[in-house]
Amino acid sequence: MASSRNIILFPYLAQGHLIPFLHLARLLEQQTHHLPSISITLLSTPVNIQNLHPLLPSTSKIHLHSLPFDPTAHGLPPHVENTDSCPSPSHLGNMAFASRSLQPQFEEFVTDQLRSDHNLKLYFITDLFVCWTVPIAKKLSIPHVVFTTCGALGTAAFLSMWLHLPHRQTDEEYFPVPGFPDSFRLHRSQMSYVNRVSDGTDEPFKFFNGQIRLSLQSDLMICNTVKKLEPLGLKVLHNVTGISTIYTIGPLVPLGEEKSYQRAGKKLGIKREVCLRWLDMQAKHSVIYICFGSQNTITAGHMLALTEGLESSGIPFVWVIRPPIGAEEINEFDEKQQMQKWLPQGFVERMTGTKQGLLVWRWAPQLEILTHNATGAFLSHCGWNSVLESMSRGVPLIGWPLAAEQFFNAKMLEEELGVLVEINRGIDCELESREVERVVKEVISGEKGDEMRSKASVCKEIIKNAMANEDSGEKGSSLRSLHDLVDFFMKH
């Protein structure tokens, strides 16, 4: 009797992790559709599973299974089950530690699976931040694959920083990073606040360092990037982790699905048709798109400088606005009215009257905006999902990294790929409106912008080729990696 096989995917409780995991599940389903003995299961908590369901086509046979979870037991508000919906930054730590509480539920699900079918073969693909699953895999002799949803260089720098805290070993502003070439230096401002203040005894260090060390015991690693896009990143990722087999399986973003794609559990702040009609009125490559992701925001002072710089530049823009840091959470009903408290008096009316700016509250159809030929640049926090969405559309970036590995992503995009210019860094640095005006003009109408768009177009082709299907010629590098991953499972 042939053994049945189940690939179990388990992401961290964050939107930027859940979505790449769902895309990976869909790609694995496509790669294994001719193998009826293989099933695919994605695990998360009830609210996350509920939000992911609408993103699967009705024909999909991927199983979405929810594990019991009570956020209130971990100091979180009811129904808050991912970092995206945390009402304040102080809750992010709660979410990290709450994710570890899922260990008994996860282990019970796995043992129930094995008990119900003695011929069943299981395989784990788990997030870097839930590598408490590694000891369970070893105990049950289950192959374990760690999945980093970020890019190669960003992941390598993030891991090395939390493994070694190299900035604590020198007083210099610039410092070397273990596992990287001697010429690679980070500035102290290119670090998240929690990493910068960590001394090795704090809770964030214990969490990140602990999960990273467990991840290094995985059988192999898969990375959400493209082999040809990050040669240095892959080299240093091997150096930092010591993991011999790293498959590149990116980009795990929708390609050619702009109209049908929707964000999990997100209600758009503007109708697609209205947004696209506004873009249709703009000249080619003339618009700056501004969005700091689903979890990050800037200060009220930053918002003021950004509005003044944008208005004086005369450059058309689409800006996805969220409440600034320190603002109380506001009800959806009076959101637009409340948000104007942080914008200059009359700014919304002037932008509406001149049609220079389109202000969107909370959520916009990002993929369709980036795909539109009016979009000339993306002012972004440099979260990896946003980076891949921008690069896969050939749109260069204006970088304003705010947290996590975003600083390392921005450094790579600017210094290696030449597709980004950094406008600001973190939330502690001041922003001058004149600098906003200078940068957006340079990127939209200057030679620098033309050069960046040219390089972004090259990246777009690299990404397209990596995902090329057999029907259109040779299978791309990322699809070959997915094939090798499935092959790894079949051999174990």
Which three-class secondary structure state does DSSP give residue 245? coil
Among 403, 404, 439, 399, which Cα is nearest to 419's?
399
Pairing of strands 317-321, 357-361: parallel
The DSSP result for 178-238, as a single string, is TTS-TT-EEETTSS-HHHHH--SSSHHHHHHHHHHHHHTTSSEEEESS-TTT-HHHHHHHH
**The pair of three-digit structure tokens given for residue 69, joined into one six-digit string:** 């979870």
Contact status, residue 221 vs residue 127, Cβ threshold 8 Å: no
Contact status, residue 49 vs residue 16, Cβ threshold 8 Å: no
* Catalytic member of 23, 74, 91, 127: 127
Among 360, 441, 343, 457, which Cα is nearest to 398's?
441
Among 128, 215, 202, 213, which Cα is nearest to 168's?
202
Among 244, 219, 223, which Cα is nearest to 489's?
219
For 20, residues 6+ apart whose C-beta sits below 8 A from its C-beta are 11, 147, 149, 224, 252, 253, 385
* Catalytic member of 17, 91, 144, 372: 17
Whether 84 sits among the annotated catalytic residues: the reply is no
For 451, residues 6+ apart whose C-beta sits below 8 A from its C-beta are 418
Which three-class secondary structure state does DSSP give residue 122? strand
Q: Give the per-residue SS3 of 258-277.
A: CCCCCCCCCCCCCCHHHHHH
Whether 17 sits among the annotated catalytic residues: the reply is yes
Dist. CA 79–CA 272, nearest whole Å: 28
Q: Tell me the backbone φ, ψ of residue 39, rounded to 5 degrees.
A: -120, 160
Dist. CA 200–CA 195, nearest whole Å: 10
Dist. CA 190–CA 402, nearest whole Å: 9
The residue with tokens 């003995």 is 37
Question: Nearest-5° angle of CA 14, CA 419, CA 413?
Answer: 50
What are the residue numbers of the active site?
17, 127
